[in-house]
Amino acid sequence: MPAASIPVPTALPLRHALLAVAVMAVWGTNFVVIKSALAHLPPLFFAALRFALVVFPAIFFLRRPAVPWRELAAYGVLIGAGQFGLLYMAIDGRISPGLASLVVQTQVFFTIGLVMYLDGERLRPFQYVALALAVTGLATIGWHTDGATTVPGLALVLLAALCWSLGNLVARRAGRVDMLAYVVWGSLFSSPPLLAMSLALEGWPAIARGLADADVWTWAGVLWQSVGNSLFGYAAWGWLLARYPAASVSPMALLVPVFGIAASAFWLGEDLPGWKLLAAALVLGGLTLNLLWPLWKSRRA
């Protein structure tokens, strides 16, 4: 492939960068919401409810995007049963929400690595530095964890991250389509496998008990999952991935653990010692370099 035709990372316009940050804020605070709702609902059934509310009633108002059914099915299974089914199972007593928000960001590296292999995208030298800063920040968070995790929990979150990255690649194939409609129609294929897995692994008695115990905050959490995370979050995320190289968009997800820690501090009273502030500064420094360096170079040119 000629060097001139290789896609390279580009700077996001300010309004699109702010959109990406808003998505990260929603996804970061989401881990606290998940943990709260899991106090009553079994994880796989919780995920099935989430995607059922993504589909209905929105599917009756949105035209199916002009993409093959197999791609919608692949996206729905990867993001629904893959990413969130596995993530909910992990947070349900196998890993802490804060650590889950950190480990799942390995999707950034899965996504960039897969795209570099499949599409020939390359990282520029400044982005290696940006990613090094961000990874150092994430490593700082990981080094200071309290050990509230298990090997199965880590494995589940890593598999969830891989499913997220594969879902990213499927979404990029759709091109410039209505991403809200894409997420809704793709989610049509999320709830059935999640419900089947729930019945097989969790059983109807656990489901019935969860429904009986659910309070207004539990249902608010389910609604936040469907409206905030899926209808807004994944529609906006897929829209950005369809318009910019993955190396420009995917590193934004490194903000998720920053928002996750802040949400835990606000709602759960988690302390914010110096090492956490240092880690946040490293992650934000890497993102700032990734976003502003191309603008500085183009201005100089």
Task: Check if the beta carbon of residue 134 is closer than 8 Å to that of residue 286.
Answer: yes
Report the 10 Å Cβ neighbour count for 228: 17
Supply the DSSP symbol for 176.
S
pLDDT score, position 45: 97
Query: Between residues 219 and 6, which one has the greater pLDDT?
Result: 219
Q: Residue 144 corresponds to which tokens in the numbers above?
A: 């200071």
Task: Check if the beta carbon of residue 283 is closer than 8 Å to that of residue 101.
Answer: no
pLDDT score, position 167: 92
Confidence of residue 291 (pLDDT cuts 50, 70, 90): low
- Helices 14-37 and 216-223, packing angle to 10 deg: 150
Task: Give tens-digit pLDDT for 37-62.
Answer: 999 999 999 999 999 999 999 999 99
pLDDT score, position 264: 76
pLDDT score, position 2: 35
Task: Check if the beta carbon of residue 16 is closer than 8 Å to that of residue 236.
Answer: no
pLDDT score, position 257: 81
The backbone torsions φ and ψ at residue 149, rounded to the nearest 5 degrees and listed phi first, read: -155, 165
Confidence of residue 177 (pLDDT cuts 50, 70, 90): confident
Confidence of residue 270 (pLDDT cuts 50, 70, 90): low
Q: Which of 2, 1, 15 is nearest to 243 (CA)?
A: 15
Q: 213: helix, coil or strand?
A: helix
Least confident stretch, 79-83, 145-149, 203-207 = 145-149
Task: Check if the beta carbon of residue 246 is closer than 8 Å to that of residue 172.
Answer: yes
Task: Give tens-digit pLDDT for 100-111.
Answer: 887 787 777 777
Residue in the block written with tokens 């995007």: 65
Least confident stretch, 121-130, 142-151, 153-162, 260-269 = 142-151
Q: Which helix (H) or strand (E) holds 282?
A: helix 274-300
Q: Residue 61 corresponds to which tokens in the numbers above?
A: 């108002």
Confidence of residue 145 (pLDDT cuts 50, 70, 90): low
**pTM exceeds 0.85:** no
